[in-house]
Structures are given as C-alpha cells and as structure tokens.
Amino acid sequence: MTVHEAERRAMSRALELAARGPRGANPQVGAVILSPSGEILAEGWHHGAGTAHAEVDALSKLPGDAARGATAVVTLEPCNHTGRTGPCALALIDAGIARVIYALDDPGDVSGGGAERLRGAGVEVEAGEQADDARSLISDWLTAQRLGRPHITVKWAQSLDGRAAAADGTSQWITGPFARADVHRRRAAADAIIVGTGTMLADDPALTARDGDSPYDHQPVPVVIGSRETPADAAVRRHPHDVLFYETRDLHAVVADLHERGIQSAFVEGGPTLASAFISAGLADRVLAYVAPVLLGGDRLALTDVGVPTISAARRIVIDEWVPLGTDMLAIARLEDNEGVR
C-alpha cells in the first residue's frame, strides 16, 4: 500500500486538529475522514478525558452510512480497549471504514492493538505517516507512558564554585537576565513546577512563567512539597491554578499522583535540598544547571547529599549541550544511570 497525496494532506490537518486538544492523562489526537475520492467528510479531535476520542468525534458528524467505504486518517493508532469510552477500532469497523492511515503506534499494553483488530476485520491499515511530527506533538505524553510518571527536569542556578547563595542566604540574582528569561520560557513549557516548603517560606515565589512583565499563556501547575504550612497570603496562592500541596517526603508517591492527574512534565525548582532529593531518588531525567561567572565561597552548596559516599560512587552526567546566556552558561545534562530517558 502507498499513502496518497490527499491522505498526506489529511494527516497534516489531523495534526493541526490534535494540537487543539488539552494536554493531560490522554494524548492529543486528531482525525480526518476522507471520501473514496479524497474529499474531507468530517474532522475531529480529542477534547479531554471522558470525551469522545478523535475518531469517534469525527464519525459523530456524519449521518447514517456516510462513512462506509471511507478512509480514516488518525495521528495515533485507534485504541482497542474500553475505558470511559469504547474502542475506537471497533467504532471505525462498525462505521464501515475501509482504510485507516495512522502516524504512531499506541504504546499502551491495554489500549494498543487497534491496528491488528482493524486488519482482522478486513480494513486496510497503513502506519507511520508523518510519525516524526506526531511524536513531536505528544513526546511528553509518550515519555510519561514509558516511565509511568512525568518527565522530570531538575533545575538550579549556581556560582562558578558551586554555591546557590551567599553566606547570608541571599541568592537573587546569581544569574543574569538572559538566564532568568530562559528559566521562565522552560517553566511555561512544563505542566507543573515543584518547590519545597523551604523555598516557599524563604523566597515567597509566585511560581508563574513570565515573559518580562507579561504572563505566558500556559502556566505550570504549582506544587509544594513539605510539612511546613504555606502562609495564607503567599504569592503562590494567587496563582491561576490551584496549588497542589504534598505533606510528605515520599517523592515517588508525589510523582505517581501527578501522573494520575495528567501531569506529563514537571520542572523542579526548589532549593538544594529538594533538587538533591530528586536526584537521590532517581527522579531526575534532565538537569539544567545555570552557571554564573561569580565566586561566593561558603557552605551554601547548590546540591547537598545525592547519595555519593565515595568518589567511585560519583553520579556521572552526560552533557547534551552548553548554552551561552549572556555572561552565564547553561549545562543541559542527564545522569548516566538514567541513560535513555529524555
């Protein structure tokens, strides 16, 4: 089988439609139904958990047997299980769809297998059309599916000699405006931003993402970990999203709950204690270390105990990129023992 030009155009359109859907526990998926002559009959996308999947959303816009003999172009393999909604593979079969083009295989053990079911019912199936674009769109969701938790970035800023603050505890501003702007841009790309109660009480952060004085359209959900009370008048309580408070030191439990809430990517921006705890727990998939050309000395280290009792146990990192940001440098890295996790 080959993919025809009309089907390629339909996949490009399906990807545009998919991007309209919300990020969350379910992937962003788009679908286009084509007539045998290549004309668009209907379009659909997934509007969020509990709503019709993209294929069913598109089919619902067609009367009677209008889909019989048609082609469905979908950004993700039609699902093969019953959750809040029924299996999309069966819906396509029942509608009389004759051909299905999809971009990516569904990675789920339960939800996957739709292509096989379609073929078993005599439907022609072609996989892989514009797979790279589809993968880019839902890369965070795919990673979260593989890990069973959000993809976690641990960020800190430090002096050249590895300090997070001066001897008196002051830390604003170690890095310059270009580095700070880069942090806010990366915050805006994350689903959640995580700090500890120590940072909350010391700095009273708003935990918003801002472009200069203007907030980004997308704001990460604020997460605060720790047993100390956050003041009623704290800046974070004015955040556009409700704050998620976790009075626990069990980071695995925290990220499991975030996963259940549909959080696909998390940005850890707490102080040295929290950053070190995530690294020690094996929950740092990416490290962002902003290094400023200053010397501070003292004992306010950017990291504390990361479970290294001796030099032979050192946590080796792989630097993927050095990024100059004004006079500062950003190291984008991953831990060797998390190799393969991006």
Cβ atoms of 51 and 22 closer than 8 Å: no
Q: How many CA atoms lie within 13 A of 27 on its CB side?
A: 29
How do beta strands 192-196 and 265-268 pair?
A: parallel
Question: Could you write out the DSSP letters of every residue in 49-96?
Answer: TTSPPHHHHHHTTS-TTTTTT-EEEEEEPPP-S-SSS--HHHHHHHHT
Q: What's the first-to-final CA gap in the chain, in angstroms?
A: 34
Nearest to 289 by CA among 305, 268, 306, 273: 268
Q: Catalytic site residue 247?
A: no
CA distance 29 to 13: 11
153 three-state secondary structure? strand
Nearest to 139 by CA among 104, 93, 94, 182: 104
CA distance 245 to 182: 26
Q: Is the dihedral of CA 37, 79, 135, 22 positive or negative?
A: positive
20 three-state secondary structure? coil
Among the options 7, 39, 43, 55, which is catalytic? 55
Other CB atoms within a 10 A radius of the CB of residue 57 amount to 22
Residue matched to tokens 């339909």: 10
Q: Point out the residues that are catalytic.
A: 55
